[in-house]
Structure 1
């Protein structure tokens, strides 16, 4: 079964797309590398908590966990929503996975959108506090969009005009997968997005 790495800026729709794919790909599983980073942060004194991607332990750990998932999870695709824009780190994780399992099994897409589109999405998920709650994501936005436009981060998907199900359709097409039909109406789609968003709110 393949691995689908869904890259993009913070607020770019990675998590929503990942769970839409999981809903429509029987047997698939979402493996979120952020949880590895959160665990590492919690073992460090607050003064030492920088960007967890800078920790070699995070990069090694993510590779090892996803390598295990690819080898042992045979029921469906492994879906990985994670912003990763440092080329050396990308090669250390995604490149190693491709070397170990083949580029035909390890797929990568970058979800891109105009700056104003991403800011609107961040505002919508700000729990009534607008962009104040999303200051980290905003501070990283321009750098993420610039780097992810590079050829090493292809395939690129422009998400401005697309709904979440349409983005999932395009990810599946790139990976050569067939999704179950999307039967959600507008209201159910909206409720599903709210539920996924609420389930992934961070309080730490």
Structure 2
């Protein structure tokens, strides 16, 4: 089974993915963003744009996830923002057409909530998150469309609750959450640091 976790930039996708991974034995996280970063590394800076616009990114994500889903026994978790219908069809749609069990979840929140989260996650404030900030409204508007269901509204629930809802919807059983408040904060901070983008 593939759990594709969609949402706006700063919407909690990566934190949710690693909370699920922590509590789903045998699961793996496969981040489609890494395919894009790899493509950017071989393209001169002046030619770089949104890597999702590159057919190579969509094909690469499809092939990588198809491989993992075909060979790995446990759940596969992919945190990635995709709001273009055509790109969604070329990744999530093609995986479903291949016969894979793909469960898609869009994490939604009010724009003010997303901006607050972006402000909290960056060492340099919203200036460093300018791409994410510029796309908040566009992402949230697109992801509210029925094609991007299942929708989970996250304004008033935390990452643990989001993971619980995803698992329940997918029919998966999570191990109990035994984190206290301090351990939870440290774990989330560690995930944030590991996935900080300096480019």
TM-score by length of 1: 0.96
How far apart in 2 are the matches of 1:8 and 1:203? 21
| 2:174 matched residue in structure 1 | 179
How far apart in 2 are the matches of 1:83 and 1:47? 23
C-alpha distance after superposition, 1:173-194 (max 9, x if no partner): 1111110010111111111110
CA drift at 1:130? 1.6
C-alpha distance after superposition, 1:88-143 (max 9, x if no partner): 100111000011124xx11000000010100000000111x221111010001110
Q: Which structure 2 residues correspond to residues 1-204 of structure 1 after superposition, within 5 A?
A: 2-74=1-73, 76-102=74-100, 105-127=101-123, 129-204=124-199
Gaps of 5+ in 2: none
How far apart in 1 are the matches of 2:121 and 2:163? 20
C-alpha distance after superposition, 1:36-88 (max 9, x if no partner): 001101111111100000000000000000000000011x1000000000001
> Alignment RMSD, CA only?
0.7
Count of residues in correspondence between the two structures = 199
How far apart in 2 are the matches of 1:47 and 1:190? 38
How far apart in 2 are the matches of 1:146 and 1:203? 27
How far apart in 1 are the matches of 2:197 and 2:12? 16
How far apart in 1 are the matches of 2:156 and 2:99? 34
Moved >6 Å (runs of 4+):
none
How far apart in 1 are the matches of 2:77 and 2:185? 22
